[in-house]
Amino acid sequence: MGSGQPVTVFGAYGHTGRFVVAELVARGFVPVLSGRNGRALEELAREHGLEARVASVDDGASLDRALAGAVAVINCAGPFASTTGPVIEAALRAKIPYLDVAAELEANLDTFAHYRERARDAVIVPAMAFFGGLGDLLVTVAMGDWTEADEAHIAYALSSWHPTAGTRRSGAVSRERRGAQRLRFRGGQWEHRTDAAPTVQWNFPEPVGSRPVIGEFTMADVVTVAQHLAIPDVTTYMTTQAVQDITDPDTPAPTATDESGRSDQTFLVDVVVRSGGAERRATARGQDIYAVTAPLVAEALERVLSDRTKAVGVVSAGEIFDAADFLDALAPHITLDLYVQKQYA
């Protein structure tokens, strides 16, 4: 556990940031609250009895002060296209691990591209969240003893998707960067396409069952999986109702339905990996994609600080951690099912 270690949380007062702060406190860490909104920081600091340090990505010295004395930094502040670079640079100057919860494709691709060579001896874990980290861990577990596979599919069934303000801002930045194009990963390469993503049926495990999904609804998992696993085709899917929710500007933000602040949203992540006519499957279920990000990134932090890792540098979840052990540690936040290998046509 944290044993009183100080950890800077940048973007601590955001929706996901608040879950992360609470999870760190529960694990014995002492979050140092940071971000540019001084009033929001002070309110959160009074609520938890913690220190607040105002910082901006436009002011490197303020970031240095925010990270001073901390053993690590967790970046929860989107749009991550604007925050990852400056906060990573501050972490490198402070010589401490960096983790973020970025779901933005472009931001994650930038992190791997810009820092893989520069940060070989550091620890930088991007997308350590529901999108990016969880899917990567599930694919890694499904791979098992396979050293390569033909294809990986990650399908999301969300009961609803009420996006936070941060999700909407991050989505807008990604759309601005991509323009009319969308991304998919085929043949070991990223493709920019202008056609519409297909709608197909996905047979989720019961009780969800068969649901229409948007195929090639490319999420951060495609980035993280492709960084370390020899799988040339990686595809993510999202239930059409969830896509309708997030694209509707009138969909409200998530509403707390329990004492922890979680919404009533439920999720099922269904992973299928195929190789040479064989198929392996792993599935995770839980509640609230924003809330479950907190134990994901906090568990990652604990393992980094206690040297329960397999790699250094810019690394994804399945690359740096023992995926099976990590997922087991997430109980009761997720329920994991592994299915017997079978042949497919």
Residue 1 lies in a domain: no
Range of the domain at 305: 6-128+293-320
pLDDT value, residue 1: 67
What is the CB-side half-sphere exposure of residue 4 using CA atoms within 13 A?
0
- Between CA 239 and CA 213 the distance in angstroms is 4
pTM for the structure as a whole: 0.96
Shared domain for 109 and 177, answered yes or no, is: no
User: Using an 8 Å Cβ cutoff, are 123 and 312 in contact?
Assistant: yes
- Both structure tokens of 267: 């999720």
Shared domain for 144 and 272, answered yes or no, is: yes
pLDDT value, residue 147: 97
Shared domain for 49 and 146, answered yes or no, is: no
Shared domain for 339 and 200, answered yes or no, is: yes
pLDDT value, residue 238: 98
Report which of 150, 146, 297, 139 is spatially closest to residue 219, judged by C-alpha positions.
Answer: 139
Q: What percent of the chain has a predicted confidence (pLDDT) above 90?
A: 92
The structural domain count of the chain equals 2
The domain spanning residue 43 has which CATH number?
3.40.50.720
pLDDT value, residue 236: 98
Q: What is 246-278 written as a DSSP string?
A: HH-TTPPPP---STT---S-EEEEEEEEEETTE
**For each of the chain's 345 residues, which pLDDT tens digit applies?**
668 999 999 999 999 999 999 999 999 999 999 999 999 999 999 999 999 999 999 999 999 999 999 999 999 999 999 999 999 999 999 999 999 999 999 999 999 999 999 999 999 999 999 999 999 999 999 999 999 999 999 999 999 999 999 999 998 888 888 888 999 999 999 999 999 999 999 999 999 999 999 999 999 999 999 999 999 999 999 999 999 999 999 999 999 999 999 999 999 999 999 999 999 999 999 999 999 999 999 999 999 999 999 999 999 999 999 999 999 999 999 999 988 677 776
Q: What is the pLDDT of residues 289-319, one digit of tens each?
A: 999 999 999 999 999 999 999 999 999 999 9
- Between CA 280 and CA 232 the distance in angstroms is 16
Shared domain for 69 and 200, answered yes or no, is: no
Shared domain for 150 and 268, answered yes or no, is: yes
How is residue 148 annotated by DSSP? B
Residue 244 lies in a domain: yes
Shared domain for 95 and 193, answered yes or no, is: no
pLDDT value, residue 136: 98
- Between CA 315 and CA 238 the distance in angstroms is 25
Shared domain for 139 and 263, answered yes or no, is: yes
Residue 269 lies in a domain: yes
Shared domain for 87 and 143, answered yes or no, is: no
User: In three state form, how does the secondary structure of the chain look?
Assistant: CCCCCEEEEECCCCHHHHHHHHHHHHCCCEEEEEECCHHHHHHHHHHHCCCEEECCCCCHHHHHHHHCCCCEEEECCCCHHHHHHHHHHHHHHHCCCEEECCCCHHHHHHHHHHHCCCCCCCEEECCCCHHHHHHHHHHHHHHCCCCECCEEEEEEEECCCCCCHHHHHHHHHHHHHHCCCEEEEECCEEEEECCCCCEEEEECCCCCCEEEEECCCCCHHHHHHHHHCECCEEEEEEEHHHHHHHHCCCCCCCCCCCCCCCCCCEEEEEEEEEECCEEEEEEEEEECCCCCHHHHHHHHHHHHHCCCCCCCEECCHHHHCCHHHHHHHCCCCEEEEEEEEEECC
Residue 311 lies in a domain: yes
Residue 203 lies in a domain: yes
Shared domain for 85 and 141, answered yes or no, is: no
Residue 25 lies in a domain: yes
Shared domain for 256 and 152, answered yes or no, is: yes
Shared domain for 273 and 205, answered yes or no, is: yes
Residue 326 lies in a domain: no
195: burial class by Cβ within 10 Å (0-12, 13-18, 19+)? exposed
Phi, then psi, of 317 in degrees rounded to 5: -60, -50
The domain spanning residue 138 has which CATH number?
3.30.360
Residue 282 lies in a domain: yes
